[in-house]
Amino acid sequence: MKKYEMFATTADVGIRFCGRNFAELYENAVAGLNGLLFGEAKGTPADSGARRFSFHGDSAENVLVNLLAEVLSLVYQKNKRVTAVVCRRADESSLDADLRLARIDGEPGLDIKAVTYHKLQVVEKNGVKRASIFFDV
Amino acid sequence: MAEKFEKLSPFHWRLSRRMHRAMKADAEIFASEDILRQALADASIEQVINVACLPGLVGNSLAMPDIHYGYGFCIGGVAAFPADNGLVLPGGVGYDINCGVRLMRSSIPLAVFKPEAENVGHAILQRVPSGLTVRSNYRLDKKGFLKIVHEGAGEIVRNFSGQAGDLDQIESRGCLPFDDPGVVSAKAFERGDSQVGSLGSGNHFIEIQAVEEIYDEAAARCFGLEKETVAVMIHSGSRGFGHQIASDYIELFRKKNLGRFKLPDPQLVHAAVDSREGRNYLQALNAAANFAWANRQLLMEEVVAIMERIFAAGRGALGLALVYDQAHNIAKFEEHLLAGKMTRLLVHRKGATRALPPGHAEIQAAYRAVGQPVLIPGSMGSRSYVLAGTVGGAAMTFSSSAHGAGRRLSRHQAVKLAAGSDVREKLKSDGILVFSFSNRALQEEIPEAYKDVDDVVEATVASGISRKVARLRPLVVIKG
């Protein structure tokens, strides 16, 4: 089971990702977004603290969009990338986690304007949750 | 699917509402057969149909000749709703609110410009913040930023730089009503105030172009365009400020729509125009639109200052003057003729340009006889066009037209075609100097990644929604 894969449409980009539970699903979504922004480089950048992300929404889709929007905000506004999502609690409509951060050297490879709800639906098959997210570039 | 379309003319197609149970209006596509086929392949027609399923649509769900796949609406999508009790959809505008194009003319002959082309390009790249870096040449406090989002381009003309007459050449005079900062999130303000006067990245650009061909002498004269002179085209939007406003309101509308509708695409979330949420979104949208108009005014003034310095003459002597500035991602209240009666509508244009016909009262007096300029940029290696609105277009499209070429290849596919340095060299051999801090941006924006703008313009003109005025050739391209 591949944690995530990236795809591209003519105008934009996206990620497909999966997880055996909600915590893993959310973590892999962040890993996929990192893949789009920074490539699939080996090694972990030096840690530069953490930020608490606590969100209670109406669905896993709602959590995913808000989590990834937070990651983008950290990248473009604070020049920080999320290196790990340490979950305190994760379920189908909420996430309470520490986002481990690292300072970005240089620029991300892509300017993503927004996370969209386009065709976003978390589906479960054989105990694995899967979703795709499109980003507006 | 193609066979279900009725061919109204070689460049105008209609899918009847009878073809789909949920459709409340017809879907109309202004396109050549080839463009229609591409639209069917990339599923953007499905998006035109989704819009036709929305309640209260006035007329039909429309798509312009540069139709391609978007979120909610397709790119090139146009839809109108009643102004008093209709719907407003952030997905009918897009994330980059008031992304738009501005054209400035000059009297600088091509032969005079060419020896300085390198200097001009280099100076613009150094001076204008571009790409992903968050940087602004303007340090504004909250009050200063609020003035910009209240007053749009007018604030720049009055307190920074510009000519009073510039406002006449900007759609809606560069300002839409905004008086409630409470409808904009703190996050949007935070993202916006550090980006004032910046170009952005992706397909945003500043281009110095040569007026290469004139098709309509009278209209070109009216717009001040003269063959073999230099013009400046700027493509940018509302930066992170607009993106955040769009995200905030899609989130809010989504919560309000939950459980009420089964939408064909969650990006089609909407609110009633007269609801609190609808009114607030329209206010916030106006703030973003004003930011974008102010931003393009600042970007133009940066170029004016550079040209004045390099050519050692003032803007008057160089003939530098704004031709037009228009939005291509917006929702605005407008009056249109419906069944013989002027009717106020909320017109959504996503990747579509307003194109008012000759004689329209909203066009400034100088252009009224020929119609509103319509600016259609091509890719960085291809021509751009100036068109003008038509009476026929006003009747068919709520005075709308195409807005650009549209991508043909994904960024991933484009990057594989050539190294950034090769793109630069290839364009240089075609007489186009490209300036960018990012080789990756050049790879992604390689001309082959875009559709042929000539095909889009041909379909736009042949369908009768605009007419050709002039063609512009790129000389210097500054990419984010």
Evaluate whether B176 touches B354 at the Cβ level (below 8 Å).
no
Do the beta carbons of residue B320 and residue B105 sit within 8 Å?
Answer: yes
Q: Is the pLDDT of residue B212 over 80?
A: yes
Q: In DSSP terms, which residues pair with B373 in a beta bridge?
A: B388
Report whether B49 contacts B1 (CB < 8 A).
no
Q: CB-based contacts of B276: which residues, under 8 Å, 6+ apart?
A: none
d(Cα B49, Cα B218) in Å, to the nearest integer? Answer: 39
Is the minimum CB–CB distance between A1 and chain B shorter than 8 Å?
Answer: no
Is B403 near chain A, with CB under 8 Å?
Answer: no
Determine the residue among A6, A10, A37, A70 to mutate to test chain B binding: the one whose Cβ has the most chain B Cβ atoms within 10 Å. Answer: A10
- The three-state secondary structure class of B299 is helix
Say if the Cβ atoms of B265 and A118 lie within 8 Å: yes
DSSP element (H, E) containing B51: helix B44-52
**Confidence class of residue A12 from pLDDT cuts 50, 70 and 90?**
confident
Q: Pairing mode, if any, of strands B12-15 and B27-30?
A: antiparallel
Q: Does the complex come out with an ipTM higher than 0.90? A: yes
- Note the pLDDT of residue A110: 87
The whole-number average pLDDT for the span B408-429 is 88
Q: How does residue B402 score in pLDDT terms, banded at 50, 70 and 90?
A: very high
**Is residue A43 very low, low, confident or very high in pLDDT (cuts 50, 70, 90)?**
low
Chain A closest CA to B36's CA: distance in Å? 16
Residue A7 to chain B, least CA–CA distance (Å): 9
User: pLDDT per residue over B321-368, tens digit each?
Assistant: 999 999 999 999 999 999 899 999 999 999 999 999 999 999 999 999
User: Superfamily for B2-408+450-479?
Assistant: tRNA-splicing ligase RtcB (3.90.1860.10)
pLDDT at B474: 97
Q: What percent of chain B has pLDDT over 90?
A: 84
Q: Which residues of A touch B409 (CB under 8 A)?
A: 10
- Any catalytic annotation for residue B122? no
Q: What confidence score (pLDDT) does residue A47 get?
A: 80
B409 to chain A nearest CA, in Å? Answer: 5
Q: Give the pLDDT score at B264.
A: 85
Q: Which residue has the tokens 């609190």?
A: B276
Q: How does residue B263 score in pLDDT terms, banded at 50, 70 and 90? A: confident
Q: Which residue has the higher pLDDT, B147 or B260?
A: B147
pLDDT at B260: 67
Report the SS3 class of residue B430.
coil
Q: How confident is the model at residue B134 (pLDDT cuts 50, 70, 90)?
A: low
Least confident of B94-103, B280-289, B404-413: B404-413
CB contact under 8 A, B266 and A118: yes
Quick check: A30 and A82 in contact, CB under 8 A? Answer: yes
Average model confidence (pLDDT) for chain B?
Answer: 95
* DSSP letter, residue B74: P
pLDDT at residue number B382: 93
Q: What span, in angstroms and rounded, lies between the C-alpha atoms of A64 and A103?
A: 23
Distance of CA B463 to the CA centre of its chain: 20
At residue A82, the pLDDT reads 96
Pairing of the two strands B466-479 and B433-435: parallel
**Residue that has been written with the tokens 């944690």 in this structure:** A3
pLDDT for B103 beyond 70: yes
Torsion sign, CA atoms B463, B468, B473, B474: negative
The residue of chain A with its CA nearest to that of B451 is: A10
Residue B111: the pLDDT is 97
pLDDT tens digit sequence for B269-294: 999 999 999 999 999 999 999 999 99
d(CA B16, CA B202): 37
pLDDT attached to residue B169: 97
What distance in Å separates the CA atoms of residue A34 and residue A32, rounded to the nearest whole number? 5
Cross-chain Cβ contact A115/B247 below 8 Å? yes
Distance of CA B299 to the CA centre of its chain: 16
Which residue in B has a C-alpha nearest to residue A134's C-alpha?
A: B71
Say whether B267 and A76 touch across the interface (CB within 8 A). Answer: no
CATH 3.10.580.10 fits A4-136, yes or no: no
Predicted confidence band of residue B55 (pLDDT cuts 50, 70, 90): very high
| SS3 annotation, chain A | CCCEEEEECCCCEEEEEEECCHHHHHHHHHHHHHHHHHCCCCCCCCEEEEEEEEEECCCHHHHHHHHHHHHHHHHHHHCEEEEEEEEEEECCCEEEEEEEEEECCCCCCCCCCEECCCCCCCEEECCEEEEEEEEEC
Marked catalytic residue, from B204, B360, B403, B412: B403
Query: CB pairs below 8 Å between A and B: how many?
Result: 84
Q: Which residues contact A106 (CB under 8 A, 6 or more apart)?
A: none
Confidence of residue A40 (pLDDT cuts 50, 70, 90): confident
Higher local confidence (pLDDT), A106 or B123: B123
B96 contacts in A (CB within 8 Å)?
A: 113
User: Smallest Cα–Cα separation from B434: which of B479, B372, B378, B370?
Assistant: B479
What is the residue extent of each domain of chain B?
Answer: 2-408+450-479
Q: What are the domain boundaries of chain A?
A: 4-136
* R_g (Cα) of chain A, nearest Å: 14
**Chain B within 8 Å of A106 (Cβ-Cβ)?**
no
> A117 and B266: CB-CB below 8 Å?
yes
Cα–Cα distances in Å, from A41 out to A6, A44, A52, B388?
14, 9, 25, 50
Q: Chain A residues with CB inside 8 Å of B406's CB?
A: 10-11
Pairing of strands B353-354, B400-401: antiparallel
Answer whether B469's CB lies under 8 Å from B386's CB. Answer: yes
DSSP B202-258: TT-EEEEEEEEEES-HHHHHHHT--TTEEEEEEEE--HHHHHHHHHHHHHHHHHHHT
**Single-letter amino acid, residue B441:** A
Q: B47: helix, coil or strand?
A: helix
- pLDDT in the model for residue B279: 97
Cα B105 from Cα B318, distance rounded (Å) = 9
Return the percentage of chain B with pLDDT > 70, whole number. 99
Separation in Å, CA of A11 to nearest CA in chain B: 6
Cα distance between the two ends of chain B: 39
What is residue B261's predicted lDDT score, i.e. its pLDDT? Answer: 66
Could you report the per-residue pLDDT of B160-207, keeping only the tens digit for each?
A: 999 989 999 999 999 999 999 999 999 999 999 889 999 998 899 999
Q: pLDDT digits over B446-460, tens only?
A: 999 898 999 999 999
Q: So what's the pLDDT on residue B421?
A: 82
Residue B19 has pLDDT above 80, yes or no: yes
How much is the CA Rg of chain B, to the nearest whole Å? Answer: 21
Q: Please give the average per-residue pLDDT across A37-52, as a whole number.
A: 81
Dihedral-angle region of residue B319 (phi above 0 means left; psi in -120 to 50 means alpha; beta otherwise): left
Structure tokens at A68: 């990834």
Confidence of residue A105 (pLDDT cuts 50, 70, 90): confident
| Confidence band for B418, pLDDT divided at 50, 70 and 90 | confident
